[in-house]
């Protein structure tokens, strides 16, 4: 029955993929940046009918100029909405860039991109034929023009609109709960964006170019290739690849190697720049080469107009450079708030036996710990070396052997060779988490799971055998918002006063946002854009002066 249901689901997924292609509308916290800035992104997945689409679970973004791709990042999606950020590399040449968005089941279409401007304040490098230098006497600040409003949303700001003052931004006029991206930022005349709204994007319709892939509806599919196997070894079907990530006991995936030496891992989305530990099983010490395929396609950018450079922009660029320098002195995670993300729930809902080792007498080896006080675990020697076995207690209190196919991890990394624990200094361990029940991973049952947690992620220092590779991996960007907390210090040079890529505005009330004014005067812009829960695009703006 399970196989039948799975077949039906995959057939339905394939038909949905064939019938509809994802298009993505990307909102950024500002339309113009300097090299080194962090770009905040809010992503809306739009179906061919112009309404929200929630099929895909990951969106790929590339910042592309005439000289090629400058940035690659991934945005995790929940119900067709996503949030993330990326930093523009310090060496990015001055010019206009396309921020192109696509999924695995569709290439980007011309309307599925957003143009942003990048000014490099530390280098004279410029995009090839991508900059026009104008005369200072002819310069007019390119302030962001007033955009169209839709959907009944009203913005208003009241309070102390002076440097270091405090004001309240209200959002009201809504007849339905609304998912919004909200940004409040310094409008300093450097705008070079394309100004397209979500309503215009939805009305355009159109199709992204299909790829033939069935899509990533559960999470990102990591494609791994294995080299070094003979054709006979690959065809036997007894070799698998185990993928795990240091620090996360829930990010464990197992896949069987196909006859052509490939494995696809369907994940729940792995977040952040991580290391992946990949092990090919049943290799008897034989080395092999493991590589991860990149999901990025490096499409050509849309037609990019040249960016205007003018000596009169110097003051605004100097102010941005000073703000960037001041922000680098603040830890990135001290001012932002993390938003909900797709979670790996392999072990979180299971009963667990926890040993915090500082609560017990310390022993030098893991074997001694198990003998002295961890009654659920025992090391046994056999022809394949040392194996960790698990014992569980029934309702009557009697203990029984649960089997030797126990999934053993250290800091979330799977150790198929349990003998690696023999020489490990147990004084470096902090906790032991034991899950004494059957756990299914990629359809494979394990008679229990144990995760040894070290004090400083010491697992990365273990000497792994030749059939294991530790590789760098770029996961999905962590979804974060910045709610306007003022940084410590004598000066407040913030260019962005507020950024929330996934704000839920409630209907029938005044939604209030407290804003801390920065320490300088200037023109500022508040923009709120998104979707009513019924699928209607909505947008509003508010321009104000700090005097």
148-177 residue pLDDT tens: 788 899 999 999 999 999 999 999 999 999
- 291 vs 388: CA distance, rounded Å: 30
Question: What fold is seen in the domain 353-462?
Answer: Ferric Hydroxamate Uptake Protein; Chain A, domain 1 (2.170.130)
The tens digit of pLDDT for each residue in 262-276 reads 899 999 999 999 999
Q: Two tokens at 96?
A: 């206009």
Q: What is the pLDDT of residues 328-379, one digit of tens each?
A: 755 556 678 999 998 877 888 888 999 999 999 999 999 899 989 998 998 8
Give yes or no for residue 380 having a pLDDT over 90.
no
What integer pLDDT is reported at residue 316 of this predicted model? 95
Same fold, 2-212+297-341+479-546 and 353-462: no
How many Å from the N-terminal Cα to the C-terminal Cα in the chain? Answer: 69
Structure tokens at 416: 């198929």
pLDDT per residue over 430-484, tens digit each? 999 999 888 888 888 998 999 999 988 888 778 888 888 899 999 999 999 999 8
Q: Domain-by-domain residue ranges, the chain? A: 2-212+297-341+479-546, 221-292, 353-462
Structure tokens at 459: 């697992």
302: left (phi over 0), alpha (psi -120 to 50) or beta: beta
Compute CA distances 481 → 182, 230, 366, whole Å: 10, 50, 43
Which pLDDT score, from 0 to 100, does residue 9 have?
38
Whether 192 and 32 have beta carbons less than 8 Å apart is answered as yes
Q: What fold, for 2-212+297-341+479-546?
A: Immunoglobulin-like (2.60.40)
Look at 146 and 383; give whichever has higher pLDDT.
Answer: 146
Q: Measuring CA to CA, which residue among 475, 446, 77, 428 is closest to residue 248? A: 475
- The residue assigned the tokens 């801390």 is 516
- Segment 398-424 shows an average pLDDT of 84
> Could you give the strand order of the β-sheet that contains 95-102, starting from the edge strand earlier in sequence?
23-28, 38-46, 81-87, 68-78, 58-65, 95-102, 113-119, 32-34
**What confidence score (pLDDT) does residue 300 get?**
85
pLDDT at position 302 is 77
Round to whole Å and give the CA distance between 482 and 338: 9
């Amino acid at each position: 029955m399970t196989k039948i249901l799975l077949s039906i689901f995959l057939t339905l997924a394939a038909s949905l993929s064939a019938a509809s292609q994802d298009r993505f509308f990307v909102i950024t916290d500002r339309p113009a940046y300097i090299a080194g800035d962090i770009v905040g992104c809010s992503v809306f997945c739009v179906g061919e009918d112009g309404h929200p689409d929630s099929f895909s679970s990951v969106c790929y973004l590339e910042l592309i100029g005439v000289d090629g791709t400058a940035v690659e990042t991934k945005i995790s999606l929940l119900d067709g909405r996503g949030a993330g950020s990326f930093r523009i590399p310090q060496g990015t040449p001055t010019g206009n860039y396309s921020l192109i968005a696509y999924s695995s089941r569709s290439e980007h279409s011309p309307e599925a991109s957003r143009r942003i401007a990048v000014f490099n304040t530390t280098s004279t490098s410029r995009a090839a034929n991508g900059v026009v230098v104008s005369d200072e006497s002819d310069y007019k600040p390119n302030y962001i023009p007033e955009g169209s409003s839709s959907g009944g949303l009203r913005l208003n700001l009241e309070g102390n609109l002076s440097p270091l003052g405090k004001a309240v931004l209200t959002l009201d006029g809504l007849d339905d709960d609304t998912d919004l991206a909200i940004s409040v930022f310094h409008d300093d005349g450097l705008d070079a964006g394309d100004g397209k709204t979500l309503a215009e994007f939805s009305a355009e319709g159109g199709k992204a170019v299909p790829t033939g892939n069935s899509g990533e509806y559960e999470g990102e599919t990591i494609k791994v290739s294995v080299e070094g196997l003979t054709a006979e070894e690959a065809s036997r079907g007894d070799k698998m690849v185990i993928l795990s990530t240091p620090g996360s006991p829930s990010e464990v995936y197992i896949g069987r190697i196909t006859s052509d030496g490939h494995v696809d891992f369907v994940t729940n989305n792995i977040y952040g720049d991580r290391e992946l530990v990949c092990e090919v099983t049943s290799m008897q010490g034989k080395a092999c080469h493991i590589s991860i395929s990149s999901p990025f396609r490096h499409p050509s950018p849309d037609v990019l107009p040249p960016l205007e450079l003018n000596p009169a922009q110097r003051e605004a660029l100097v102010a941005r450079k000073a703000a960037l320098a001041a922000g680098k002195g603040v830890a990135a995670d001290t001012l932002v708030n993390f938003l909900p993300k797709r979670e790996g729930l392999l072990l979180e809902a299971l009963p667990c036996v926890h040993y915090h080792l500082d609560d017990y007498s310390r022993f030098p080896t893991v074997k001694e710990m198990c003998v002295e006080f961890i009654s659920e675990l025992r090391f046994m020697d056999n022809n394949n070396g040392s194996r960790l076995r698990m014992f569980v207690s029934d309702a009557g209190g009697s203990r029984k052997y649960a089997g030797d196919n126990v999934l053993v991890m250290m800091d979330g990394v799977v150790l198929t060779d349990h003998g690696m624990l023999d020489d490990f200094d147990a004084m470096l361990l902090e906790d032991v988490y034991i899950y004494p029940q059957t756990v299914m991973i990629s359809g494979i049952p394990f008679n229990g799971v144990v995760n040894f947690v070290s004090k400083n992620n010491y697992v990365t220092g273990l000497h792994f055998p030749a059939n294991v590779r530790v590789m760098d991996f770029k996961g999905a960007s962590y979804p974060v918002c910045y709610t306007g907390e003022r940084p410590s210090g004598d000066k407040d040079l913030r260019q962005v006063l507020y950024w929330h890529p996934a704000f839920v505005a409630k209907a029938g009330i005044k939604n209030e946002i407290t804003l801390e004014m920065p320490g300088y005067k200037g023109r500022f812009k508040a923009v709120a854009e998104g979707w009513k829960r019924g699928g209607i695009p909505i947008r509003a703006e508010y321009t104000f002066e700090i005097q």
